[in-house]
Structure 1
Amino acid sequence: MSTPAEIAVAGGFNFDLTAVDGAVQMSLVADTLRTLKSRRLWNDDILLSTYPKSGTHWTWEILNMIVAGKAEYTKHWQNSAWLEYRTEEELEELASPRILHTHLLPRQLPETVWKQRNKVVYVWRNPKDCAVSCFCQDSQQVWRDGTQDKYSFMGSWDDYLSLYRDGYAPSGSVFEHFHDWHKAAEEQMICQIQYEDMIKNCVHEIRRIAEYLNRPLPEKTYVAIAEACSFSNLKHANENIKDQTFHNKWQQGSSGYFRKGKSGDWKNWFTVAQNEKFDEISEAKLNKTFPY
């Protein structure tokens, strides 16, 4: 019987994968993940958790601006603060308080996160839009394997959706991710944000995050942060202003990390059959449907 990682590779993923803690992950971070629980975080670290393509860059920049108290972009690229992909030495170069981000499950995180009660912000998004955005990124992203450039995913949209829906995509099941983080939020002081709510009223959600962090700001600053972190402005900043260390390559003509920044694009991708199957699995695993 094939393992989840083997199924993912056979389905079109073009890099080495393995299973860690029950979730499919890139093999290059497997050793880090197996020892991550014992890693010590700083008392003032702030952790951002998302499933891939759920507004990670957007929220991470907002968090940095709240901590700075002004609508000014950070110098370093967001991937430099990626908990599971950066070494402890690399993360120690970041100024305190560090805004770290992760795609991991609660049980995979350093135990100090919960013992110290670090501030944690969790952002979730309609998983159908996540699926579309993940496919567009993985099928256009270029990474280097030795001396060879490869696309992350080589299959079709239908191939991708089947793997994603069944929990075989990197980062594991989106349904497990939602379930475990919502459960953790019931037990811990976690700030939950919905991506679609940020689109509808970003200023309101920025205010909620700032109050959770005990860093209230003047109303005009919330407005300024929302404007600086609008899709077009943040895309420009990330591609033209920031230090590009840890930035991935993309095939010619790709939109890169910033594709559309909208809600509901899944309706342009899912067939009726795909949508019905996705809803069936979602309701079985989460006992809920999504409003967007």
Structure 2
Amino acid sequence: MATPAEKATAAGLNADLVMLDGFVEVEFMVDRLKRVKDLPIRDDDILLCTFPKSGTHWTWEILNMIVAGKAEYAKHWQNSAWLEYRTEEELEALASPRILHTHLRPSQLPETVWDKRCKVVYVRRNPKDCVVSSFSQMSKQIWKDNPTGKPSYTGTWDDFIDLYLNGCIPIGAYFEHTIEWTNISEAKKNFEICKVHYEDMKQDCVREIRRMADYLGRPLSDKTYQDISEACSFTNLKHANEKLKDQTYHFHWQGDSSGYFRKGTTGDWKNWFTVAQSERFDRVYEERLNETFPY
């Protein structure tokens, strides 16, 4: 029987894939993922934890501005602080408090994150919008180390949904990721994290920025919250990332787009899913998470 990695390759995922601890991973990431557990963690580290395409760039920039106390963009792309991707030396060079971001599950992180009671912000988004965004990105993305020059995914939309629901996509399986993060407070002895929903940020960004600032113990003025919200609007943040920021940690993509910023909206999944695909997604979601699909 084919492994999930083999199924992903057969369906059109153009990368060297392997199985690691029961999950599909890109081969060149294996050594990096194995070393994450031993990375030094500082007492004042702030971790931003998301499933891919859940508003990571957006929230990371907001957190940087909260810490800075003003609506000023961080110098580098968020990739400069990507926990599982940067070297230990690169992470050590970051000034405190570091705002590290990761797509990993809690069980993959250094145990010292929990021992030191680091601040953790977890962002969750409608997975139907996540899968649309992932498909759109991976259908255009060319991996840096891919000698073929092909996009990361060249299969069909229907097959991509199937891979997504069955956890055959690299970086993580949505349901396992969600279950672990949803239950983290119980698993880690009442560890307090700040849970944020992408849709809530779209509805009232100022309110959610204030909530994150309060959690971090860094309250700001109402005007500063407004300024941060405006600076981190989709249009302004896309411009800043593509035109203003140092591009050292920017990945290369097809065309002249950053690849990360597509629409920044909610509900675009309705333009992609057929009725049958949507109903199947809801059914699997409810079976795996034991809750009614809430979006």
Q: TM-score range by the shorter chain?
A: over 0.9
Q: Distance in 1 between matches of 2:168 and 2:287?
A: 18
Query: Number of residue pairs matched?
Result: 292
Q: Distance in 2 between matches of 1:72 and 1:253?
A: 25
SS of structure 1 residue aligned to 2:76: coil
**How far 1:148 sits from its partner (Å)?**
4.1
Which residue does 1:138 correspond to in 2? 138
Which residue does 1:47 correspond to in 2? 47
Which residue does 2:26 correspond to in 1? 26
Q: Distance in 2 between matches of 1:76 and 1:167?
A: 31
Which residue does 1:14 correspond to in 2? 14
Percent identical among aligned pairs is 64
Q: Deviations over 1:126-161 (max 9, x none)?
A: 100000000000001122336542311111111111
Structure 1 residues 255 and 271 mapped into 2: Cα distance closer, same or farther (>3 Å)?
A: farther
Q: Distance in 2 between matches of 1:146 and 1:254?
A: 18
Equivalent of 1:262, from 255, 261, 265?
A: 265
Q: Distance in 2 between matches of 1:147 and 1:6?
A: 20
Structure 1 residue 162 and structure 2 residue 165: aligned?
A: no
Q: Distance in 2 between matches of 1:86 and 1:268?
A: 36
Structure 1 residue 223 and structure 2 residue 226: aligned?
A: yes
The answer to whether the 8 A contact 1:20-1:34 is kept is: no
Which residue does 1:251 correspond to in 2? 254
Q: Distance in 2 between matches of 1:220 and 1:121?
A: 23
Q: Distance in 1 between matches of 2:236 and 2:44?
A: 29
Which residue does 1:242 correspond to in 2? 245
1:74 maps to a residue whose letter is: A
The answer to whether the 8 A contact 1:126-1:290 is kept is: no
Which residue does 1:189 correspond to in 2? 192
The answer to whether the 8 A contact 1:77-1:246 is kept is: yes
The answer to whether the 8 A contact 1:60-1:99 is kept is: yes
SS of structure 2 residue aligned to 1:150: coil
Which residue does 1:212 correspond to in 2? 215
Which residue does 1:149 correspond to in 2? 149
SS of structure 2 residue aligned to 1:25: strand
Q: Distance in 2 between matches of 1:276 and 1:170?
A: 24
Q: Deviations over 1:250-281 (max 9, x none)?
A: 22375721101111111110111111111111
SS of structure 1 residue aligned to 2:6: helix
SS of structure 2 residue aligned to 1:145: coil
Q: What are the ranges of 5 or more consecutive residues in structure 2 without an aligned counterpart?
A: none
Alignment of 1:109-148 (within 5 A): 109-145=109-145, 147-148=147-148
**How far 1:110 sits from its partner (Å)?**
0.7
Structure 1 residue 287 and structure 2 residue 294: aligned?
A: no
Q: Distance in 1 between matches of 2:12 and 2:208?
A: 37
Q: Distance in 1 between matches of 2:252 and 2:291?
A: 37
Structure 1 residues 166 and 43 mapped into 2: Cα distance closer, same or farther (>3 Å)?
A: same
1:78 maps to a residue whose letter is: Q
Of Structure 1 and Structure 2, which has the larger fraction of its residues in strand? 1
**TM-score (ref. length: structure 2):** 0.95
1:196 maps to a residue whose letter is: E
What is the alpha-carbon root mean square deviation over aligned residues?
1.4
